[in-house]
Amino acid sequence: MSDAAPGPAALIDLHAWQVLSPLIVAGGYLPWTSGSMRPAALVAVCNEIVHGARSRIVECGSGAGTVLLARLLRERGGGELTALEHDAHWAELVVDRLRRESLDTLAQVVHAPLEGEPPWYASAALDSVPDEVDLLLVDGPPACDPGHGTRRAPALSEFASRLVAGAAVIVDDVDRPGEREVIAGWEASSTWRFDLDHLAGVAVGRRPA
């Protein structure tokens, strides 16, 4: 057994669990995978929802975080969360959880198979995304396999026309070079600017007023 002290990221995640506890105890067990957002990243998203008064949210990817964010929207009195999920089985699990907690009036999971090259969510599935979005959460599609590090690059252009004035974009997994390359490309080709939070592993992007 190692006696090494936990690193800064582990400590911030432990604190994040405490911050998230009111949302966690609100329901039963939530499946967690290696691809799930870290607790500290979820706290960053929750903070943006609260401080930015976000209520029209699109999430690339779905999972335990989808349920927690739906619980937060319910606590705040309402909102609309649409999650795109390429894995049909996983989408069913999240949909079932939302339904059992009567959160399906606030959040929907759209099965969006990957198509094209580079693989991106099927265009037909994007028709389910609302016309006005004030928070885009980019945590999919999976981009951890070799050669697929920039898989999430289409996100900004795909949703640009739906992002309202004052909207924010949060990108997960910015500890990976692929996500940092994606963000650098967005900043080079648009007016979006991103602040990196390396401890939480996310970047928050905004357009100048």
CB under 8 Å to 11, separation ≥6 — which residues? Answer: none
What is the chain's pLDDT, residue by residue, as a tens digit (209 residues)?
445 556 777 767 766 667 677 677 666 667 667 677 899 999 999 999 999 999 999 999 999 999 999 999 999 999 999 999 999 999 999 999 999 999 999 999 999 999 998 899 999 999 999 999 999 999 999 998 887 899 999 999 999 999 999 999 999 999 999 999 999 999 999 999 999 999 899 999 999 98
CATH numeric code, 39-206: 3.40.50.150
The whole-model pTM stands at 0.89
Q: What angle do CA 11, 183, 160 make, to 5 degrees?
A: 115
Cβ burial of 194 (10 Å; 0-12, 13-18, 19+) is buried
Backbone phi, then psi, for 62, in 5-degree steps? -145, 165
Q: Give CA–CA dist 180/163, Å, rounded.
A: 21
15-67 per-position pLDDT tens digit = 666 767 767 766 666 766 767 789 999 999 999 999 999 999 999 999 999 99
Nearest to 171 by CA among 163, 180, 160, 162: 180
**What pLDDT, on the 0 to 100 scale, is given for residue 23?**
75
Measured in whole angstroms, the distance separating CA 177 from the mean position of its chain's CA atoms is 18
Q: Which two three-digit tokens encode residue 204?
A: 């928050």
The region, left, alpha or beta by phi > 0 then psi within -120 to 50, assigned to residue 115 is beta
Cβ burial of 51 (10 Å; 0-12, 13-18, 19+) is exposed
Q: Are 179 and 173 in contact (CB under 8 A)?
A: yes
DSSP strands (E only) in 95-159: 107-111, 114-115, 120-121, 133-138
